[in-house]
Structure 1
Amino acid sequence: MRHLVFLLSLSSVCFFTRSEIADNNFSKCKMFFLNNAPPDFTPPAGVSVKPICQCLWDDNDQQLYLFATLYSTTWKIPVYSAYLFGSPNIGRCDAWYIEPQALNSDYKNSGYNKGHLYPVLHTSNHLSMLATSTLTNVAPQKSDFNQNAWLRHEEAIKEDLKSCDEAYVVTGVVPDTEAPKLKNRVTVAKYYWRATCCLKNNQYTGMGYYGPDKNGEVQKLTITNLKKKLNDVYQICFFPTQYTEDSGDWVVL
């Protein structure tokens, strides 16, 4: 693979970069959203966001888009990352890509881990695995939660989704705007959340997750209840489908 210069580019192309500022519809990476439609997100007042198409070049110098991220330049953490679940997962390599918006030094001796939104456990190829290690795909996460309850959750999701014909995932954070920022720059994550949408037997089934709760664990809840929890911080609609609360099934419109 060619040597990559890992800079967040404001240009409209991804040449020599691994991230591309996208239009509001994520037109070059819309395939990572159900029905090619990104979540309908309303940021709080005074919070700026930028859509990013995460990309790399393969061995044949072909540009590959690997997942999508809505990144807050105000909080300096992602609001969410969206991806297609892949299984089985492959080995991990932590080669962190430098981004002008966030720096490795922000996390040094902070007591927080770099918490992946799109985790290595949910990737199925080498390039996707590499692409997850960008600072636009992580937020400060308490180490105990990251290495225990959230890891168990990611492993459980891997088992739940591997039998799907296809599965769309949106993972995000709830910022802790009252906590001290890392290096007076980076807002820490108070909660992590995930919404999944699994196609199986011609039906989409959705599920939501939210944590840590008061016991330090990850709650499993309906998509509707996940949205209600997040409405305390911001409004977001994950999937452009009709949801039947009683059955938990997603019916494609």
Structure 2
Amino acid sequence: MLPLLRCIPLLACLTAALPTLAAAPPADVARLPSSFASCPDFFLGQKPPALPAASKRRELCFDGFAVLHSVETRTPIYAAQRLNRRALGGIKRQKSDRFFAEARLPSAERASLDDYKRSGYSRGHLAPAGDMATEAAMAQSFSLANVVPQSMRHNSGAWSKIEEDTRKYVQRAKGDVYVVTGAVFSTGGERIGRNGVGVPDHLFKLVHDVHTGQTWAHWQANQDDERPGRPISYQELVRRTSIDWLPMLGPQAKLTFPVRR
């Protein structure tokens, strides 16, 4: 079982090898609420994951997702989404899309663009830009509060395939699909930049189909040679992280996942 610290924490991203592009946040970000009480619909049964109590976290709502942000790692712990085929992606990525520091977070708690510069890591979305249903939501997904340092080839390879496969599943689904994407860190793990942004050891994407009751998770090492593998069960994800990510499911959660990926 992973130590508790490992349980803090995910289409395409600009890589850290590119020049840092300064950008102001989208004009509407300042109006967004900073409490899950204002965006409960991103969570199954309107209940966020059952993480142990801690003071070094911030809740952030966006138009297309919600994020729990870690002060300690200056990254998201997880991003939560409610997806369905009526409102999924289809928005062409704009050339003006830019990553930006999250102004709703105090400067002492957030990552900066310079932290990723020449770090060797991509700025990897937890809630993917490709999932967003509006241009505003897509622009908001480039907040660094929704980003972790990710292996470049993993981000553009195995992880990108998992994101695309999840979208394809949602497009076939008959109802809402809840997705929780998170990052898992080790004690004393790698940090980047002046602000010491934490680099996750693993990423996971948890998927729950409300109509069928099917629940599964993709578990991936954050490394260049990682390949897409067979999903794991919800119970196995809980065992590995010691966190109940979908508390509304309870002990009767199905152990099934789609054969077709």
Q: Scaled by the length of structure 2, what TM-score is found? A: 0.75
**Is this contact kept in 1: 2:215–2:254, CA < 8 A?**
no
User: Given the alignment, which residue of 132, 151, 154 partners 1:142?
Assistant: 151
Residue 97 (str. 1) matches residue 100 (str. 2): yes
Distance change in 2, residues 1:30/1:108 (3 Å): same
Superposition deviation, residue 198 in structure 1: 1.3
Q: Which structure features the higher share of helix residues?
A: 2
The 8 Å contact of residues 89 and 121 in structure 1, kept in 2 or not, is answered as yes
Distance 1:77 1:241 in 2: 27
Q: What are the within-5 Å matches in structure 2 for residues 168-183 of structure 1?
A: 168-183=178-193
* Residue identity (%): 24
Per-residue deviation at 1:179? 3.1
**In the alignment, what sits opposite 1:129?**
138
* Whole-angstrom CA distance in 2 between matches of 1:129 and 1:207: 25
Check the 8 A contact 2:150/2:222 in 1, yes or no. Answer: no
Q: Tell whether 2:25 aligns with 1:6.
A: yes
Question: For residue 57 of structure 1, what is the aligned residue in structure 2?
Answer: none
Alpha-carbon contact 1:192-1:211 (below 8 Å) kept: yes
State the AA in 2 paired with 1:204: G
2:213 matched to which residue of 1? 204
CA RMSD across the alignment: 2.7
Task: Mark the runs of 5 or more structure 2 residues left unpaired by the alignment.
Answer: 1-22
1:167 aligns with 2:186: no
Amino acid in the other structure paired with 1:97: F
Relative to 1, partners in 2 of residues 1:181 and 1:30: Cα closer, same or farther, differing over 3 Å?
A: same
Distance 2:101 2:139 in 1: 13
CA distance 1:96–1:187, shift in 2 (3 Å): same
Structure 2 counterpart of 1:90, which letter?
I
User: What is the alpha-carbon distance in structure 1 between the residues aligned to residue 58 and residue 51 of structure 2?
Assistant: 12
Contact 1:83–1:168 at 8 Å: present in 2 too? yes
Contact 1:107 1:182 in 2 (8 A): yes
**Separation in structure 2 between the aligned mates of residue 118 and residue 131 of structure 1, nearest angstrom:** 10
Higher strand share: 1
Higher relative contact order (CA 8 A, sep 6+): 2
- Equivalent AA in structure 2 for residue 154 of structure 1: E
CA distance in 2, matches of 1:213, 1:139: 10
Q: How far apart in 1 are the matches of 2:45 and 2:254?
A: 23
Partner of 2:34: 21
Alignment of 1:1-253 (within 5 A): 6=25, 17=30, 19-22=32-35, 26-42=36-52, 48-54=56-62, 65-85=63-83, 86-93=87-94, 94-99=97-102, 100=107, 101-164=110-173, 165-184=175-194, 185-200=196-211, 203-212=212-221, 216-219=226-229, 220-231=231-242, 235-242=243-250, 244=252, 248=256
Which stretch of structure 1 is more off in the superposition, 166-175 or 177-186? 177-186
**Quick one: which amino acid aligns to residue 233 of structure 2?**
T
Measure, in 1, the Cα distance between the counterparts of 2:165 and 2:199: 25
CA distance in 1, matches of 2:218, 2:255: 17
What do residues 104-126 of structure 1 show as CA deviations (whole Å, max 9, x unaligned)? 11100100001100001222221
What is the distance in 1 between the residues matched to 2:73 and 2:99? 20
Structure 1: 5+ residue stretches without partners? 8-13, 55-64
Verify the 8 A CA contact 2:154 2:222 in the aligned structure 1.
Answer: no
Q: How many residues align?
A: 220
The amino acid across from 2:101 in the alignment is: I
